[in-house]
Amino acid sequence: MDERVKVRERGQVLPLVTLVIVVAGLVCLAAGRLGGAAVARAQAATAADAAALAGAAAGRNAAVEVARANGGTVTGYREVGAEARVEVELGRATATARARAAGGGGGGGDGPAPAMRAALSRVAQLLGRNVPVVAPPPGTAQPGDAGARHERGLAVDVPATFVAALAPVASGAGLCQPYPTVHPVHFEVCGYRLP
């Protein structure tokens, strides 16, 4: 009789284990999907930021091109004065961003200086694709004189995902990466002394 009870109990363990495995699997699936959505949102935001900057500097086509270089599609574009307002769709995520053209409508915004524009177009030639440029998050501490170089359009920050592609060709295009550990997304025109 004791034996029979044990057998019956053992028989109940298997469905329980199966249930636990199924539940754990579902939890993992849900977590993965949430994580994927967060990544997609972040990528869409990056693409929208870069597209808005490009749009403000060079118009709608530039915004479309930069969004595409970042894996996104421009689903909305509007220019209001010197400001470009862009909506970008990437995967299932959408993001909006706005940026102002340099010198347009009483300051605010800073486009790349001619030396930087030249370096960026050299990189674009070397890589066969445009360089996505993102605005440094406001309030971010920039090491050394990095902030001053950003203000003068002599430094750009790129999406973190783009660093691996840019770093090998940067010096050939006249771009330096002076803070590879503390601010690795930051590239500036090599050898330019601030006044």
Structure tokens at 57: 């500097």
Cβ proximity to Zn ion, 54 vs 64, nearer residue: 54
Give the relative orientation of helices 114-127 and 163-170 as an angle to the nearest 10 degrees: 110
Of 37 and 160, which has the nearer Cβ to Zn ion?
Answer: 160
What is the total count of residues that contact Zn ion (CB under 5 A)? 4
Question: How many other C-beta atoms lie within 10 A of the C-beta of residue 29?
Answer: 10
Smallest separation (angstroms) from Zn ion to the CB of 176: 12
Considering beta carbons, is residue 100 or 150 the nearer one to Zn ion? 150
Cβ 145 to Zn ion, closest distance in Å? Answer: 11
Binding piece for Zn ion, criterion CB under 5 A, among 95-103, 112-120, 150-158, 162-170: 150-158
CB 64 within 8 A of CB 74: yes
Residue nearest to Zn ion (CB): 186
CB of 47 to Zn ion, least distance (A): 19
Residues in 85-144 at the binding interface with Zn ion, rule: CB under 5 A? 136
Instruction: Tell me which residues in 54-93 interact with Zn ion (CB under 5 A).
Output: none
Nearest approach in angstroms of CB 173 to Zn ion is 17
Phi, psi (deg, nearest 5) at residue 77 = -145, 130
Phi, psi (degrees; rounded to nearest 5) at 116: -70, -40
Q: Which is nearer to Zn ion, 26 or 148 (CB)?
A: 148
Instruction: Give 64 or 134: the residue with its C-beta nearer to Zn ion.
Output: 134
Half-sphere exposure of 6 (CA within 13 A, CB side): 3
Out of 85, 157, 159, 166, the only residue in the binding site for Zn ion (CB under 5 A) is 157
* 51 closest CA partner among 27, 75, 17, 29: 75
Q: Which residues of 56-88 are buried (b: 16+ CB within 10 A; e: fewer)?
A: bbbebebbbbbbbbbbbbbeebeeeebbbbbbb
Q: Does 186 bind Zn ion (CB under 5 A)?
A: yes
Residue number, 50 or 146, with CB nearest to Zn ion:
146
76 bridge partner residues: 87
Name the site residues for Zn ion (rule: CB under 5 A).
136, 146, 157, 186
